[in-house]
């Protein structure tokens, strides 16, 4: 059994970085084409929002099953691993079937869920619902299967390599589906879904070859099992409550807006929401490689290793999160202009508020891995109940005052509450307040300098308000340079960071030379 996962982490970070670049290209190319028709873009965004159910259809058992499958893998118990994955697969199948039937029903009556549809809008919505009901479930089930097998081995870079290729294919297809005045959004979504499904089939073949994985044995284990249910039920129900809370405060924005404010407001909010998902992908790339490592450490009883991992994650990501959040907030006005044009200027304040809410992830993300790995049900339930409650109260309080931006304010308020709950929950292994004290003065000084310099750089070089791909790429490139230079300045003034970078560089060289 492999003891060091450093090489895997490096591979994951490299391919996640490439994946982030393709995600940026997707925003750069796909979203402007989709948003060229505000009404249809709003309908598309609203219909796609329903796919959040299928994202969480395992009702918490998939994440719970991955935890115990990872522990079995750490103990080199392939049979227990397959039994756990087979059980979670059966749960997923059971929950997806009613979703498919409902989506097929909506495909015939889309006006039941979207107000004020035109004839064209109704046809597009109906076709999108049909694809979501018939094709998407197959793609998701297959994707979840290959991801689970790779994630518990900390080898998800294998799937990332294939995903990058098919993401680039999907991006390139936009030039065909949205050209010469055509707006073939249904055909584009069907193509993207099918190409992702084909990518998962290729990954399945690679797992069979590289891991000598017996998929026939796994298929035989796809059934509901009382044994696996008893093992996972407590954590699964905790995860289910957390998932329900997460969906309420993080995923229902577009559906709420579409139902009560119309498709035009969905389009305005969707710009900020789309960029927020890109930022989530960015931070997920930083934190998620360590999620299964927490499970491995629990499986082997390495509590000191867990405390060390938590401290390192929070200490080293805090400056990066603060600097990145601040720079993105400062450039958000020009980002919206260059990305989708001045017609979406109401999206600017929404984007800024949502970006600020991501600041708290340097504690919330590793804390969520810790709670799950160590079955800290008290804090799992606290986050599951209090966070969505704050969001709902925020909607009732902020939307009447601020209108559409009130939804973003309510969301970021919920993120802040989750941050405080996370601090309380991980204090027994590491107190994040120590990190805040450690970096406080240096970061405040650096942030003050950025607040002074970045707006002046934007005014000097990016004063246009016209939509422009060239300007958008230049703006993002400038932001990346500012973030990197800021982090390097911080490293130059901090001995601990210099030493950590030196050790990381030496490990990378050693791996390359093997």
**Residue 1's pLDDT is what?**
42
Closest CA to 45 of 245, 246, 244, 340: 340
End-to-end CA distance of the chain: 19
Closest CA to 161 of 17, 290, 283, 55: 17
Q: Are 51 and 192 in contact (CB under 8 A)?
A: no
Q: Are 234 and 377 in contact (CB under 8 A)?
A: yes
Phi/psi at 179 (5° precision): -145, 155
**Residue 7's pLDDT is what?**
65
Global model pTM greater than 0.85: no
The number of C-alpha atoms within 13 Å of 350 and in the hemisphere containing its C-beta is: 26
- Residue length of the chain: 514
Q: Are 169 and 195 in contact (CB under 8 A)?
A: yes
Phi/psi at 178 (5° precision): -130, 70
The answer for residues whose C-beta is within 8 angstroms of residue 21's C-beta and 6 or more apart is none
CA distances in angstroms from 181 to 124, 398, 407, listed in the order given = 16, 39, 33
Q: What is the pLDDT along the chain (514 residues), one digit of tens a residue?
A: 444 556 666 666 677 677 667 766 666 666 666 666 767 777 777 777 777 677 665 556 676 667 777 777 777 777 777 888 888 878 788 878 888 898 889 888 887 777 667 777 788 888 888 998 888 888 888 888 887 777 777 677 777 788 888 888 888 888 788 777 777 888 888 998 898 889 888 888 888 877 777 778 778 877 777 777 777 666 666 666 666 666 666 666 767 777 677 667 777 888 888 888 778 877 877 777 777 677 667 766 677 777 888 888 888 888 888 999 999 999 998 988 888 888 888 888 999 999 998 888 888 888 888 887 777 778 878 887 888 888 889 888 888 888 888 888 998 898 899 899 988 888 888 888 888 888 878 888 888 999 999 999 988 888 777 877 788 888 888 998 999 898 888 877 666 666 666 655 555 555 545 5
Residue 247: exposed, middle, or buried by beta-carbon count in 10 A (0-12, 13-18, 19+)? middle
Integer Cα distance of 355 and 359 in angstroms: 7
Per 3-state DSSP, the chain is made up of helix, strand and coil in percentages (nearest 5) of 85, 0, 15
**Residue 2's pLDDT is what?**
43
Handedness of CA 302, 303, 307, 308 (dihedral sign): negative
**Residue 329's pLDDT is what?**
92
């Amino acid at each position: 059994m492999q003891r060091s996962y450093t090489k895997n982490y490096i591979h994951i970070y490299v391919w996640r970085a490439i994946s982030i670049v393709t995600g940026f290209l997707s925003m750069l190319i796909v979203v402007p084409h989709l948003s060229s028709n505000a009404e249809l873009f709003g309908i598309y965004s609203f219909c796609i929002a329903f796919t959040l159910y299928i994202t969480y259809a395992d009702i918490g058992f998939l994440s719970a099953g991955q935890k115990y499958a990872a522990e079995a893998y750490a103990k080199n118990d392939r049979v227990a691993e397959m039994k756990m994955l087979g059980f979670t697969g059966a749960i997923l199948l059971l929950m997806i079937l009613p979703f498919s039937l409902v989506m097929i029903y909506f495909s015939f009556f889309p006006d039941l869920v979207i107000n004020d549809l035109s004839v064209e809008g109704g046809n597009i919505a109906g076709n999108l619902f049909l694809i979501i009901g018939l094709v998407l479930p197959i793609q998701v089930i297959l994707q979840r299967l290959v991801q689970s097998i790779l994630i518990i081995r900390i080898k998800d870079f294998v799937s990332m390599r294939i995903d990058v290729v098919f993401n680039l294919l999907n991006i390139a297809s936009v030039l065909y589906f949205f050209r010469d005045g055509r707006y073939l959004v249904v055909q584009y979504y069907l193509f993207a879904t099918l190409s992702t499904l084909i990518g998962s089939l290729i990954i399945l073949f690679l797992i069979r070859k590289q891991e000598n994985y017996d998929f026939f044995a796994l298929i035989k284990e796809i059934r509901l099992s009382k044994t696996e249910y008893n093992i996972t039920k407590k954590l699964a129900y905790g995860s289910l409550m957390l998932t329900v809370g997460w969906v309420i405060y993080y995923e229902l924005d577009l559906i709420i807006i579409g139902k009560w404010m119309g498709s035009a407001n969905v389009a305005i909010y969707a710009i900020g929401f789309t960029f927020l998902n890109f930022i989530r992908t960015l931070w997920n790339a930083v934190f998620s490689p360590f999620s299964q490592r927490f499970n491995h450490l629990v499986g082997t009883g390495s509590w000191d290793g867990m405390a060390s991992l938590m401290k390192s994650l929070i200490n080293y990501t805090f400056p990066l999160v603060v600097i990145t959040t601040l720079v993105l907030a400062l450039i958000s006005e020009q980002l919206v202009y260059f990305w989708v044009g001045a017609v979406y200027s109401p999206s600017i304040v929404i984007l800024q508020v949502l970006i600020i809410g991501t600041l708290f992830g340097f504690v919330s993300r590793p804390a969520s891995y810790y709670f799950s790995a160590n079955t800290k049900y008290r804090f799992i339930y606290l986050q599951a109940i209090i966070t969505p409650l704050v969001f709902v109260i925020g909607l009732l309080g902020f939307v009447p005052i601020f209108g559409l931006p009130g939804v973003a304010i309510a969301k970021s308020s919920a993120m802040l509450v989750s941050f405080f709950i996370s601090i309380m929950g991980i204090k027994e292994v590491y107190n994040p307040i120590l990190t805040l004290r450690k970096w406080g003065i240096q970061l405040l000084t650096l942030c003050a300098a950025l607040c002074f310099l970045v707006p002046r750089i934007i005014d000097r070089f990016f004063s246009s308000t016209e939509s422009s791909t060239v300007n958008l790429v230049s703006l993002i490139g400038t932001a990346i340079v500012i973030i990197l230079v800021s982090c390097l300045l911080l490293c130059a003034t901090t001995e601990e960071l210099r030493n950590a970078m030196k050790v990381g560089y030496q490990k990378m060289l050693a791996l390359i030379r093997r």
